[in-house]
Amino acid sequence: MTEQHVQKSIVVLVSGNGSNLQAIIDEIAEKRINAKIVAVIANQETAYGLTRAENAGIPAIYIDHKNFASREEYDKQLADSIDEFNPNLIVLAGFMRILTPAFVERYQGRMLNIHPSLLPKYKGLHTHQRAIDANDKEHGASVHFVTPELDGGPVVLQSKVPVFEQQDVQELAQRVQQQERQMYPLVIKWFCEDRLKMINNRAVLDNQILADEGYAIE
């Protein structure tokens, strides 16, 4: 793309290691994505993603859910913290909290998530083990827009990996996560170039409505 776009600002939410966050930080540093991560927010004090943010000079914020009486109150604080940075895009990168409908609706069309399964299969947790238990021949990850239905928003991109005989769950998770670190920055790049939108609950890339399984890379 030769066209110039206004630089987008991104807030990333994490709960753990932050390897997806790191992939996005690296792609921005390499100038392959025209964006700035303006804050990283975690719901876990020990989330290594916070350290990754600090190392990259990005404001790192921890919001402890124990200080809030309800999910609604937590999400209100989370939204207030996000809105201080006025971001164009909110990226969930291993953020392991269920979000309230009010929160999700506030950011509809500008919040992305990565989920470690070929959605609509295996919403929720333990996705790698569930794929093995079901004798699936392939597994993978999906990037999707976030809507109030948990892991149910329109898929933008999926990446597949084979599931082998006697598959070890850790090894499968590693191969899926390797794919995640490739695919998430690509989708974020599309969004930041104004090529990707959510319209009428569908993902739209370059004015084309994407299929249920998202954009197909063959």
Chain positions contacting ligand GAR, by CB under 6 A: 14, 16-20, 49, 93-94, 114-116, 141, 177, 180
Q: Rounded to an integer, what distance in angstroms lies between the CA atom of residue 173 and that of residue 186? A: 20
Least distance (Å) from ligand GAR to the CB of residue 194?
A: 25
Strands 8-14 and 35-42: parallel
Nearer Cβ to ligand GAR (110/115): 115
Q: Which one, 18 or 185, has the nearer CB to ligand GAR?
A: 18
**Shortest separation between residue 126's beta carbon and ligand GAR, angstroms:** 9
Task: Look up residue 83 and give its two tokens.
Answer: 């809105």
Q: β-strands 111-115, 89-92: how paired?
A: parallel
Active site annotation includes 5: no
Residue 114 Cβ vs ligand GAR, minimum distance, rounded to whole Å: 5
The active-site residue out of 5, 65, 115, 144 is 115
Question: Which residue's CB is nearer to ligand GAR, number 16 or number 109?
Answer: 16
Report H helices in 69-161. Answer: 71-83, 101-106, 127-133
Phi/psi of residue 90, each to 5°?
-115, 125
**Which positions are catalytic?**
115
